[in-house]
């Protein structure tokens, strides 16, 4: 068995990855979950991709739970509660599937308080190895707390059979760690969240190697797994997500679809990445002094609230208004923050430039991986695209390039000029 090293202190204790690792699953289950009866949970597609073959290899098992392939399973928290009722200490749930199946089983086994095993069928997300599951709760997307898989076993030949779009989406999600790293520099330089070295290195040290070749499944999965670990370690998605993810959340909450299908997470964050990186270069390419004459006057609380209400008028963004209002700074405070920006500007330009590829390189990497780079390729018209970017600044506490530009009084100008 090709065991891959796991950073210390993780909830995940076993990670096996190999060209034909499916055949190792029974032995791994015996080793990692002695005496437990496996229970495969899959959907119609992932059952055919790996579940059926795995089931045939198991001596004893609880009859597999197979969700229909069509309509596509939605990651709803209520499904998890139902599954959890069927889980007891004699079982080991085995999630055979991509992000949605894994999130559902992760949460269900978390509720049931039993460890589970993950057998991914696509290199489509970084959530396999992360703490928490992205689920809909009463119509709103939330990260529900639950432990990461105790064991994960990756068969590369299975991943190869996944639809090309899923792999493209996973690659795009991995590439977001580049601008997400730059966002962490921005936050740190403004006095928020100092970068934690072990967490930072886990994602950033080998990131360039992992993203170099989009067709290199092994390295892309390594990168996605490492990102998941970093979130286990940090108990937050900061190491893996910046402004590009916030934009994607806005479009997701608006129910963005293209040609009748939900747009994948990876494709949304890819469009976010292109926007985010262009905005970052707006800072990199201009000195503070050059831009100072164009900085808008800080908003009064009334002006701010009016703008927030207008951006959130669709009402589909959960408790975004209260988050947005907490982010307001009075005019005097805002002026002080601009002084701070002036002090840190040059160093920040350097750090961001070291962290990022050029805009053209990002575009080339994404295109080579068959990932969309234009808003219209995922069904965003100009209004929804720009609205998503401006709204992304309000919906979470996480400090990103969007907050930096907003506080500098440059967000509108930058958006107009570079997007």
Return the range that interacts with Zn ion (CB under 5 A); candidates 3-11, 36-44, 136-144, 166-174: 166-174
Q: What does the buried/exposed string (b/e) look like for 157-183 if buried means 16 or more CB atoms within 10 Å of the residue's CB?
A: ebbeebeebbbbbbbbbbbbbbbbbbb
CB closer to Zn ion, 36 vs 177: 177
The Cα–Cα gap between 242 and 194 comes to 15
Using the rule CB under 5 A, give the single segment among 93-101, 136-144, 169-177, 180-188 that binds Zn ion: 169-177
C-beta of 51 vs 99, nearer to Zn ion:
99
Which of the stretches 160-168, 172-180, 206-214, 375-383 binds Zn ion when contact is defined by CB under 5 A?
A: 172-180
By CB under 5 A, residue 103 contacts Zn ion: no
Q: Which is nearer to Zn ion, 45 or 169 (CB)?
A: 169
Q: Which stretch binds Zn ion (CB under 5 A): 8-16, 53-61, 168-176, 349-357?
A: 168-176
What is the CA 142 to chain-centroid distance, rounded? 12
| Position of minimal CB gap to Zn ion | 173
Pick the closer one to Zn ion by CB: 155 or 173: 173
CB of 240 to Zn ion, least distance (A): 6
Q: How many residues bind Zn ion (CB under 5 A)?
A: 1
CB of 86 to Zn ion, least distance (A): 30
Alpha-carbon span 199 to 201, nearest angstrom: 6
Looking only at residues 289 through 328 of this chain, which bind Zn ion when binding is defined by CB under 5 A? none
Q: Closest CB to Zn ion among 173 and 183?
A: 173
Is there binding between residue 18 and Zn ion (CB under 5 A)?
A: no
Judged by CB under 5 A, the residue of 103, 155, 173, 299 near Zn ion is 173
| Site residues (vs Zn ion, CB under 5 A) | 173
């Amino acid at each position: 068995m090709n065991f891959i090293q796991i950073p210390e202190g993780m909830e995940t204790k076993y990670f096996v990855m190999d060209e034909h690792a499916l055949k190792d699953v029974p032995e791994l289950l015996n080793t990692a979950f002695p005496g437990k009866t496996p229970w495969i949970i899959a959907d119609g597609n992932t059952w055919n991709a790996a579940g059926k073959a795995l089931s045939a290899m198991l001596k004893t098992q609880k009859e597999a739970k197979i969700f229909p392939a069509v309509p596509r399973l939605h990651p709803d928290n209520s499904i998890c509660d139902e599954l959890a009722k069927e889980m007891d200490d004699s079982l080991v749930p085995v999630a055979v599937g991509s992000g949605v199946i894994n999130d559902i089983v992760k949460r269900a086994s978390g509720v049931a308080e039993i460890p589970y095993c993950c057998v991914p069928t696509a290199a489509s997300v970084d959530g396999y190895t992360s703490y928490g599951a992205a689920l809909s709760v009463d119509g709103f997307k939330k990260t529900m707390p639950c432990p990461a898989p105790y064991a994960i076993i990756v068969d590369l030949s299975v991943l190869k059979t996944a639809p090309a779009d899923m792999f493209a989406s996973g690659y795009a999600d991995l590439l977001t760690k580049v601008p997400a790293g730059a966002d962490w520099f921005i936050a740190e330089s403004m006095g928020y969240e100092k970068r934690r070295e072990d967490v930072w290195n886990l994602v950033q040290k080998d990131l360039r190697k992992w993203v170099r070749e989009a067709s290199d499944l092994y390295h892309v999965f390594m990168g996605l797994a490492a990102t998941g670990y970093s979130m286990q370690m940090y108990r937050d998605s900061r190491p893996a997500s910046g402004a590009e993810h916030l934009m994607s959340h806005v479009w997701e909450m608006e129910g963005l679809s293209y040609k009748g299908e939900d747009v994948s997470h990876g494709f949304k964050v890819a469009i976010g990445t292109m926007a985010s990186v262009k905005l970052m270069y707006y800072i990199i390419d201009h000195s503070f002094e050059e831009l100072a004459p164009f900085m808008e006057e800080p908003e009064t609380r009334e002006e701010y609230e009016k703008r927030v209400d207008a951006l959130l008028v669709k009402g589909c963004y959960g408790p975004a208004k209260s988050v947005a209002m907490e982010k307001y700074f009075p005019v005097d405070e805002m002026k002080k923050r601009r002084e701070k920006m002036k002090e840190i500007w040059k160093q920040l330009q350097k750090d961001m430039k070291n962290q990022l590829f050029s805009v053209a390189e990002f575009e080339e990497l994404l295109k080579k991986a068959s990932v969309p780079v234009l808003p219209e390729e995922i069904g965003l018209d100009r209004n929804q695209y720009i609205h998503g970017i401006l709204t992304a600044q309000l919906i979470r506490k996480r400090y990103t390039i969007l907050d930096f530009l907003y506080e500098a009084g440059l967000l509108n100008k930058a958006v107009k000029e570079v997007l």
